């Protein structure tokens, strides 16, 4: 019997133990081949590290994600009694923000790692804020490094109380908080006797109990992103990825912003003809009646078409030293599309902790700032409101050296 799948994102301030926790999870659930473990142990010894260092495991498992953005990501699925979990690890803060907003990986739930020793830090709050605005409502906290505070109950309570205040301000309800030591493996997958005072569940028993898998967005209107268009044996093949809804053969579709219309004659996936494609599927289409379809086009049905517009309001977060000012022109990327947009007006700077307005109409937004901004696209685009179709409601802003900011669309005009 196959278990339902859960995608987990592990978030938290740098050095609070995210990699160690993931390494521990994979190690304790025996999904790492013996040979790989030996290699890592040898490497670890060679570098003069004592014992098994879990973050080496992580470094060696990292793989590059394909696609427009290079995102380091590590994905090794592991099982509990209830679910097949896949961890979406983002090694750094920037990668995390990028990854979350581009939706390179859809997270069903998040584990927030907070060090018991250091307590809540800037990125702790920032990440909790981001998961919230991105609509990840399933959150579990691991208060890590409990070994460093002698497994002390008072310290755990102190950190938990502060965390609860942050969650309440963000609108999270009843977030489970579990004391763990990722390094020693206490309370991660295995129960530990070191917490005499704790009779609750382990981190993963808690996840199993509180989390539910997300469902495919099949009841939403059809949206698919054109990835590529090529000729094969005299026929034009349109390769696209379904984001929402169901694509069926025999139906008329439109492509925006190209403005082309056509009939789906055939849908192919992995070389086989299929009648329907669902969200997540990448398919090749043969469409009659089209000429100039392009990468970046959005496919929809005429009954509920993707709309073209120019101006939109977005909530954005900056994560590089490239500042943003009114009238700046920036390249934004969403789905497989790329467009130039002008910063019409920075409407406000938002405090990411309390979600309140910090400053109205600031002149500039800089690294780490969250702001509400009105953009105007140079050519019409078909983004969506994030609350309706998140898959096409988020974007990144490209700079000279990669993504510099990311945003979600609040309103379109
Ligand atoms: P990340 O930046 O959040 O991924 O943090 P890492 O997993 O790289 O851990 C940062 C440092 O904290 C490393 O030196 C880890 O060995 C150490 N660390 C992580 N978890 C624990 C823990 O449970 N106990 C102790 N004592 N150290 C830990």
Residue 36 belongs to a domain: no
Does one domain contain both 24 and 165? Answer: yes
Does one domain contain both 314 and 235? Answer: no
Residue 123 belongs to a domain: yes
Does one domain contain both 165 and 286? Answer: no
Average pLDDT of the chain is 85
Picking from 301, 222, 286, 296, the residue whose alpha carbon sits closest to that of residue 258 is: 296
Distance, CA of 213 to CA of 4 (rounded, Å): 7
Distance of CA 98 to the CA centre of its chain: 8
Q: Which residues of 292-312 are buried (b: 16+ CB within 10 A; e: fewer)?
A: ebebbbbbbbeeebbebebeb
Residue 66 belongs to a domain: no
Distance, CA of 318 to CA of 97 (rounded, Å): 9
Distance, CA of 173 to CA of 195 (rounded, Å): 25
Q: How confident is the model at residue 355 (pLDDT cuts 50, 70, 90)?
A: low
Does one domain contain both 292 and 315? Answer: no
Does one domain contain both 241 and 271? Answer: yes
Does one domain contain both 204 and 86? Answer: yes
Q: Which atom of ligand 1 is nearest to the CA of 16?
A: 3
Domain finish residue from 300, 324, 351: 300
User: pLDDT tens-digit profile of 247-279?
Assistant: 999 999 999 999 999 999 999 999 899 999 999
Nearest CA, atom 19, ligand 1: 17
Tell me, in angstroms, the distance from the centre of ligand 1 to residue 185's CA. Answer: 12
CATH code where residue 92 lies: 3.40.50.300
Residue 55 belongs to a domain: no
Domain finish residue from 255, 278, 300: 300
Which residue among 12, 15, 27 has the greatest number of ligand 1 atoms within 8 angstroms of its CB, and so is best to mutate?
A: 15
**What is the reported pTM?**
0.73
The tally of domains found in the chain comes to 3
pLDDT of residue 73 exceeding 50: no
Nearest CA, atom 9, ligand 1: 17
Strand stretches in 275-320, DSSP E: 276-277, 282-288, 298-300, 309-318
Domain that holds residue 285: 226-300
CATH code where residue 242 lies: 2.40.30.10
Does one domain contain both 203 and 230? Answer: no
pLDDT of residue 119 exceeding 80: yes
Return the pLDDT at 49: 62
Does one domain contain both 194 and 241? Answer: no
Picking from 251, 206, 196, 254, the residue whose alpha carbon sits closest to that of residue 226 is: 254
Return the pLDDT at 357: 87
Residue 39 belongs to a domain: no
Q: Where is 203: in which H helix or E strand?
A: helix 203-210
Percent of the chain beyond pLDDT 90? Answer: 51
Distance, CA of 109 to CA of 128 (rounded, Å): 12
- Contacts for 270 with CB less than 8 Å, ≥ 6 apart: none
Whether the Cβ atoms of residue 350 and residue 332 lie closer than 8 Å to each other: no
Residue 46 belongs to a domain: no
Residue 318 belongs to a domain: yes
Distance, CA of 46 to CA of 36 (rounded, Å): 15
Candidate from 24-28, 202-206, 370-374 with smallest mean pLDDT: 24-28
Does one domain contain both 240 and 383? Answer: no
SS3 (DSSP) at 51: coil
- CA angle in degrees (0–180, nearest 5) for 46-49-51: 110
SS3 (DSSP) at 225: strand
Alpha-carbon dihedral of residues 272, 274, 279, 282, nearest 10 degrees?
30
**Cα distance from N-terminal residue to C-terminal residue, the chain:** 48
Residue 41 belongs to a domain: no
SS3 (DSSP) at 73: strand
Does one domain contain both 89 and 197? Answer: yes
Ligand 1 site residues, Cβ closer than 6 angstroms: 12, 14-20, 55, 144-145, 147-148, 181-183
Whether the Cβ atoms of residue 121 and residue 93 lie closer than 8 Å to each other: no
Whether the Cβ atoms of residue 129 and residue 170 lie closer than 8 Å to each other: yes
Picking from 119, 126, 128, 112, the residue whose alpha carbon sits closest to that of residue 178 is: 112
Domain finish residue from 210, 240, 260: 210
Which residue among 17, 62, 96, 182 has the greatest number of ligand 1 atoms within 8 angstroms of its CB, and so is best to mutate?
A: 17
Does one domain contain both 249 and 315? Answer: no
Return the pLDDT at 60: 55
Does one domain contain both 253 and 371? Answer: no
């Amino acid at each position: 019997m196959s278990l339902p799948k859960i995608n987990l994102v592990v978030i938290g301030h740098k050095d609070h133990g995210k990699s160690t926790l993931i390494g521990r999870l994979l190690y304790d659930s025996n999904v790492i081949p013996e040979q790989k473990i030996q290699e890592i142990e040898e490497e670890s010894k060679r570098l003069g590290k004592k014992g098994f260092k879990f973050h080496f495991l992580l470094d060696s498992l990292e793989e590059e994600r394909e696609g427009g953005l290079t995102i380091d990501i590590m994905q090794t699925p592991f099982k509990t009694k209830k679910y097949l979990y896949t961890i979406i690890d983002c090694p750094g803060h920037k990668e995390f923000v990028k990854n979350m907003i581009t939706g390179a990986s859809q997270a069903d739930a998040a584990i927030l790692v907070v060090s018991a020793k250091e307590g809540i830090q800037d990125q702790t709050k920032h990440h909790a804020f981001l998961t919230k605005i991105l609509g990840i409502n399933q959150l579990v906290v691991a208060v890590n490094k409990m070994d460093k505070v002698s497994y002390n109950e008072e310290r755990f309570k102190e950190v938990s109380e502060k965390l609860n205040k942050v969650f309440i301000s963000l609108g999270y309800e009843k977030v489970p908080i579990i004391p763990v030591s990722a390094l020693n493996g206490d309370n991660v997958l295995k129960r530990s006797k070191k917490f005499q005072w704790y009779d609750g569940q382990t981190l993963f028993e808690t996840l199993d109990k509180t989390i539910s898998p997300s469902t495919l967005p099949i009841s939403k209107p059809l949206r698919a992103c054109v990835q590529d268009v090529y000729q094969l044996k005299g026929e034009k093949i349109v390769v696209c990825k379904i984001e929402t809804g169901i694509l069926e053969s025999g139906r008329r579709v439109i492509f925006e912003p190209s403005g082309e219309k056509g009939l789906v004659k055939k849908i192919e996936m992995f070389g086989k003809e299929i009648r329907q494609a669902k969200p997540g599927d990448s398919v090749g289409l043969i469409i009659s009646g089209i000429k100039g379809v392009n990468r970046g086009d959005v496919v929809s049905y005429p009954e509920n078409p993707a709309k073209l517009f120019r101006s939109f309001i977005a909530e954005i977060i900056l994560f590089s030293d490239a500042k943003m000012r009114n009238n700046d022109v920036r390249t934004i990327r969403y789905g497989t599309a790329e467009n130039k947009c002008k910063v019409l007006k920075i409407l406000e700077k938002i405090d990411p902790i309390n979600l309140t307005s910090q400053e109205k109409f600031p002149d500039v937004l800089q690294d780490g700032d969250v702001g509400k901004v009105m953009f105007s696209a140079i050519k019409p685009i078909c983004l969506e409101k994030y609350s309706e179709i998140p898959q096409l409601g988020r974007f990144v802003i490209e700079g000279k050296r990669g993504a510099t900011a990311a945003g979600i669309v609040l309103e379109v005009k």
